[in-house]
Chains A and B, each alone.
Chain A
Amino acid sequence: MLQTIRRALTSSAGRAFLELLLVILLGVVFNADGAFFKVGTHRDTLRQASTYGILACGMTLVIITGGIDLSVGSILAVSSVSFSLLMMHMDWPWWLAVIACLVLGSALGSASGALVSNAKLQPFIATLAMMTFARGVAKYITGGQKISTYVTQGDKVIIKELPQIFKFIDSRILGGDLSIVSVIFLVCFLAAWLFLARHRWGRELYSIGGNEEAARLSGVPVRMAKFLAYTFSGLMCAVAGIAQAAQETQGDPEAGAGYELTAIAMVVIGGTSLAGGRGSMGLTLLGILTIGYLQKILSINAVPEAGRLMITGIIIVLAVLTQKRRTK
């Protein structure tokens, strides 16, 4: 019994779970006059973590190959402004706009993928370039302005009605206890989990991260698998961008700045190794919840932003230290 508990606690999952429990315990202690015990708090925690969580899904796949994707925030912005533009200014049918955004996001992701797998650029460099480029694309599309329901026609400004799809994505189900954005996140999570845990592509990603040369010599299609990982990450960015546009009821070319760091932190706190080859979607889920709850607890206790950032930084270090693999 004791042995089982000890083994559970020394596994990556056990430690990630312990971190989450500690953060929740923090919430129980600093419950802001019972605010922490309200269902709404937990619903909002999940909703607010969802956008980051969607990015973290793609990020996990990329990090498991031993890579990194810095471009997620920028691609999110491209998707967000494109979706707003197509829906609010050009009145496209919603499904066509969604497909267009998903294709666009995947295309940008696949460009990073091609740079990494074919041109053999380091993932950091390739996605740093894409991060800059995509931010430029977002600003180019919008002319640097936010896209909202205020539409200039000639010299008149008219206020359009917010498209139905925006309202729907920002709504809740289950008597208001579950946000649609969270449902979208859960679907993305399930897809990423299925690929990683149950598809041969997932196995290939792990083997590439674990030992790329051994993977190549075992017949793993290394280039294609990596290319697809970045493409998948781009797709996730597009999804997150659509969700972001709906939540903000506008398309902001500055949206998503710094999101890549939160997404990376979520993956790493879960215990997925930046060196590649080790990790899982389950761990990422624990990481997403840990950071999500931490943010929420700090905000309901009205900790000012300066303190929030410092505490988050410290928690990341502590979490990663406990995750460090003990070497013999």
Chain B
Amino acid sequence: MAPLVSMNGITKFFGPVKVLDQVDFSIYPGEVHILAGENGAGKSTLVKILAGAYSDYQGRISMEEREIRPSSPLDANRHGIAAIHQELSLIPSMSVADNLFLGHPMTRSGFVREKAHRRSAGEVLGRAGVNVSVSTFVEDLPISVQQLIEITKAIRLNARVLIMDEPSSALNAHDVETLFALVRQLKSQNRGIVYITHRLEEIHRLADRITVLRDGKLVGSALASELPEKQLIHWMVGREMEEQFPRHTLQKSSEALRVENLSVYKAGWGHRPLVDRVSLSAGRGEILGIGGLQGSGASELFLGLFGAMPKRTVGRVSIEGKPVRIRSPREAISNGVALLTNDRKATGLISPMSVIANICAASLGKLSRYGWRRPRAEVRMATEMGRTLQLRAASYDMEVGDLSGGNQQKVAIGKWLSTGPRIMLLDEPTRGIDVGAKHEIYQLMNELTARGISILLVTSEMPELLAMSDRIIVMHRGTITAEFSRQEATAENVLEAAMGKINGEVGTTRREEAAHAADN
């Protein structure tokens, strides 16, 4: 079979740094080609070259025997290449329809044909299986739907090659299914798909062909059917990994955190609570996993516990047997609670500030004397954290935004470790980071729990949830629908509970009806 696109001997420099070294890469029609490798391996750079984001590369790209040189994203579009990047390129304040036609509007003598837009947008979305009103503003949609719209936008351009850079990183399990269906549909239309992902599960389910990069060099390329998982991981990390997850052993211990009937409300009155009378407890040194799909309320539960939604949280919380009232993140920190948020760029790190400033951001009080900072104490703290976390940074004075994803996450974790927490709320601690860094974070979680710190873990990666948790509770639409011991939990029963099944019945609606009846 002749490739649709082949890239030969691609080399690219960023300043003096060679980020791609003589890489060959081919895309075949009707195939999903997974591009894998640790963060910083050069995957994104390679696909960005194909998508026209960088034109100063060496090497050749040919599309159906003809040499092309995409000079801009628009030029790449003209060649039938469209990219869906990690950062969404939708305009939040415009409607879905307007976004779909952004840059390529339908016009009549220069005026935009609004009605035609809406009709055509509805058709495209319908065909893709994305169920959304075309006049909704993009900012009012959940991130998962936005991602699907982004893909639909590429389909509308009739692209023959689609590049997807970690398209599922913000999606929940259900939307991932929609995405996969969409990918299969694109495949059946004989389009070529480049798919970058960190998730083994996705590689298993989607891959026709796999190419692995490491440090800017091509490590290997093979048909998925001929590449065992062990070999794939070996290619990616360059070393055999004994187990994907280190085993965590729990010593039975006293109760560290107890939460009773905690509810968290959205701003304004009359809304359904985001978290509805949730009770749970966690022991010292325990990892309590919280499973759930998008909208389960797990992240809001964390924000509520952390005092980040002070006026809209009710319920009783006690830490190590003592009742506490946490009305602000400040009070949470002084009570030994830490919250690693699920989006390090938006809510975790202060990217224009240095590694040191970020690591010390939550413990400034402890590190200052009468409010005056002690820079040397800060450097000492940052160095200590850097060592514990095996942080790799050229200098601790560099801006955190310039670090790789895995190292950024380590800085975010370091910020919380430096506060000396007793309870850590970890929301997606391994999102968007490479296998090696993931492994290090799992090790760290084991070390922390061995020191008696309790961890509440929210993750959308089922294998991670099952492997790291000592106990698992599952949330669905703000309530707890199931609790499993480590032995009982399976991917199937956790997912069922996450989709709202209680004891084999679909239970949440019943409960909501009861609540309604009580209101009336």
Q: Quick one: CB contact mask for A179-208 with B, threshold 8 Å, 1 for yes?
A: 000000000000000000011111110110
Q: A273 CA to B306 CA in the complex, in Å?
A: 32
Q: A217 CA to B347 CA in the complex, in Å?
A: 7
Q: Which residues of A contact B349 (CB under 8 A)?
A: 211, 214
Report whether B348 and A214 are in contact in the complex, using a CB–CB cutoff of 8 Å.
Answer: yes
User: What's the least CB distance linking A321 to chain B, in Å?
Assistant: 19
Report whether B365 and A200 are in contact in the complex, using a CB–CB cutoff of 8 Å.
Answer: yes
Report whether B371 and A217 are in contact in the complex, using a CB–CB cutoff of 8 Å.
Answer: no
Smallest CB gap from A203: residue in B: B364
Q: A326 CA to B339 CA in the complex, in Å?
A: 33
Mark out the residues of chain B between 349 and 388 whose CB falls within 8 Å of any chain A CB in the assembled complex: 349-353, 357, 360-362, 364-365, 368, 371-373, 375
Report whether B352 and A277 are in contact in the complex, using a CB–CB cutoff of 8 Å.
Answer: yes
Interface of A is mostly: helix
Mark out the residues of chain A between 242 and 292 whose CB falls within 8 Å of any chain B CB in the assembled complex: 273, 277-278
Chain B contact patch, size range: 20 to 34
Report whether A198 and B350 are in contact in the complex, using a CB–CB cutoff of 8 Å.
Answer: no
A328 at the interface (CB under 8 A from B): yes
B333 at the interface (CB under 8 A from A): yes
B329 at the interface (CB under 8 A from A): yes
Interface of B is mostly: mixed
Report whether B373 and A199 are in contact in the complex, using a CB–CB cutoff of 8 Å.
Answer: yes
Interface core residue of B308, B350, B353, B362 (most chain A CB under 10 Å): B350
Given contacts A216-B308, A217-B308, A218-B361, contact A207 B330 (CB under 8 A): no
B121 at the interface (CB under 8 A from A): no
Report whether A199 and B306 are in contact in the complex, using a CB–CB cutoff of 8 Å.
Answer: no
| Candidates B306, B329, B371; contact of A200 at CB < 8 Å | B371
Report whether A210 and B14 are in contact in the complex, using a CB–CB cutoff of 8 Å.
Answer: no
Report whether A213 and B332 are in contact in the complex, using a CB–CB cutoff of 8 Å.
Answer: no
B415 at the interface (CB under 8 A from A): yes
Q: Which residues of A contact B394 (CB under 8 A)?
A: none
A221 at the interface (CB under 8 A from B): yes
Q: A328 CA to B402 CA in the complex, in Å?
A: 10
A176 at the interface (CB under 8 A from B): no
Report whether A203 and B351 are in contact in the complex, using a CB–CB cutoff of 8 Å.
Answer: no
User: What's the least CB distance linking B52 to chain A, in Å?
Assistant: 17
Report whether B371 and A201 are in contact in the complex, using a CB–CB cutoff of 8 Å.
Answer: yes
Q: A207 CA to B347 CA in the complex, in Å?
A: 12
Mark out the residues of chain B between 326 and 348 whose CB falls within 8 Å of any chain A CB in the assembled complex: 328-330, 332-333, 339, 341, 346-348
Report whether B352 and A210 are in contact in the complex, using a CB–CB cutoff of 8 Å.
Answer: yes
Given contacts A214-B347, A278-B352, contact A220 B14 (CB under 8 A): no
User: What's the least CB distance linking A282 to chain B, in Å?
Assistant: 15
Report whether B373 and A206 are in contact in the complex, using a CB–CB cutoff of 8 Å.
Answer: no
A219 at the interface (CB under 8 A from B): yes
Q: Which residues of B contact A162 (CB under 8 A)?
A: none
Given contacts A203-B373, A210-B352, A211-B349, contact A217 B341 (CB under 8 A): yes
Interface core residue of A207, A211, A215, A273 (most chain B CB under 10 Å): A211
User: What's the least CB distance linking B7 to chain A, in Å?
Assistant: 21
Interface residues of B (CB under 8 A from A): 14, 306, 308, 328-330, 332-333, 339, 341, 346-353, 357, 360-362, 364-365, 368, 371-373, 375, 415
Shortest Cβ-Cβ A-B pairs, 6 listed: A210-B350, A277-B352, A218-B362, A219-B330, A218-B361, A211-B350
Q: Knowing that A213-B346, A213-B347, A217-B308 are A-B contacts, what are 9 other residue pairs whose CB atoms are under 8 Å apart, sorted by A's residue number?
A: A199-B372, A203-B364, A207-B357, A211-B347, A211-B350, A219-B362, A220-B361, A273-B352, A277-B353
**A-B contacts, 22 listed (Cβ < 8 Å):** A198-B372, A200-B368, A200-B373, A202-B373, A206-B353, A207-B353, A207-B357, A209-B352, A211-B347, A213-B347, A214-B341, A214-B361, A215-B350, A215-B361, A216-B308, A216-B329, A217-B329, A217-B339, A219-B328, A219-B329, A220-B361, A220-B364
